[in-house]
Structure 1
Amino acid sequence: MFTKMNRINLLGRNNFAVIRFMATPSGPKPVDGGSVSPRYKPTEFQKTLLVWTKKYKSKEEIPSLVSSETIDRARTEARIKFSNFLIVLTALGSFSAILLGKAAAKRGESVHKMNLDWHKQYEEDYKKKQEGEPKAA
């Protein structure tokens, strides 16, 4: 498959040869077609992610050592699923805010009117407070 040296002849002005060192596989490939990456003992949270992303059917089926590629892929898929859930939740929240705002507008409520009412109430409370206090000389 890979050789330690691959000689490539390049034709140019001087007709010289370039030697290029190629990478060689770092050991025998696994017989079962699995990965050659290091294996780690998954935590309970990682086991939950592996089951949630349907890498395994249950926590009991998860082997004691799992490749780092499998754990990383499960984390990535879980992150994507969670992001999609948040996108849908945000869209639903925005849609409900629009509907509530339109319903309030039909009733004649607005933020401007609420602000004016609050200032009016504040001024009335302030005047009552000023009338109740004796004037100091």
Structure 2
Amino acid sequence: MAGPAAAGTVVRCLDKHIFSVLRITRGTSWPISRRLCSKPQEGDAPKTSGGPSGASFKLPGHKPSNWDRKFLVWTGRFKKEEDIPETMSFEVIDAARNKMRVRMAYLMIGLTIVGCVVMVISGKQAVKRHESLTSQNLEKKARWREEAESAPAKP
């Protein structure tokens, strides 16, 4: 029966031969950045590219397209298209686009569910009329056989 001394020998052997690559990194500690995982503290100032004033980077004014104008009205950001300014921040337009994406996804989910219900109802009605794909295929093949028999033979 092997004791703790045998286990130590195995670990030392593995340490010498297999884990030699890991021994290089044993003394180093890799910096872990958790900026995206936690909320910034009061003392932590975010690094900005706005220069010495510390202003954060903002995109310049963006001119909304006709679709963007419709999205801004449909999402309720503005009452009428005339109220929309000529240039606005990209974040506002992007938020309206995202809201429309979500609404369109909900619409597609609803249409899919309605389509499934319609197909179930039409399938049940077809069963009541004794219609099935098998019977339709048999009828079609029988018609083809009759057409093939009645057609004159080609020389």
What is the TM-score when the length of structure 2 is the normalising length? 0.63
In terms of fraction of residues, the more strand-rich structure is 1
Aligned-pair identity in percent equals: 30
Local SS of the residue matching 1:127 = helix
Local SS of the residue matching 1:66 = coil
**Superposition RMSD in Å:** 2.3
Local SS of the residue matching 1:39 = coil
Q: Is 1:126 the equivalent of 2:122?
A: no
CA distance in 1, matches of 2:111, 2:90: 31
Q: Structure 1: 5+ residue runs without aligned partners? A: 1-20, 30-35
CA distance in 2, matches of 1:86, 1:23: 40
Deviation at 1:22, TM superposition (A): 4.8
* Cross-structure match for 2:37: none
CA distance in 2, matches of 1:39, 1:93: 43
* Cross-structure match for 1:46: 68
Q: Using a 3 Å threshold, how does the CA distance of structure 1 residues 28 and 54 change in structure 2: closer, same or farther? A: farther
Q: Which one of the candidate residues 35, 39, 46 is aligned to 1:23? A: 46
Q: Structure 2: 5+ residue runs without aligned partners? A: 1-43
CA distance in 1, matches of 2:54, 2:61: 16
What is the TM-score when the length of structure 1 is the normalising length? 0.70
CA distance in 2, matches of 1:54, 1:95: 32
One-letter amino acid of the structure 2 residue matched with residue 23 of structure 1: P
Deviation at 1:37, TM superposition (A): 4.0
Count of residue pairs brought into register by the alignment? 108
Deviation at 1:28, TM superposition (A): 7.2
Residue pairs, 1:103-122, within 5 angstroms: 103-122=125-144
* Cross-structure match for 1:56: 78
Local SS of the residue matching 2:120 = helix
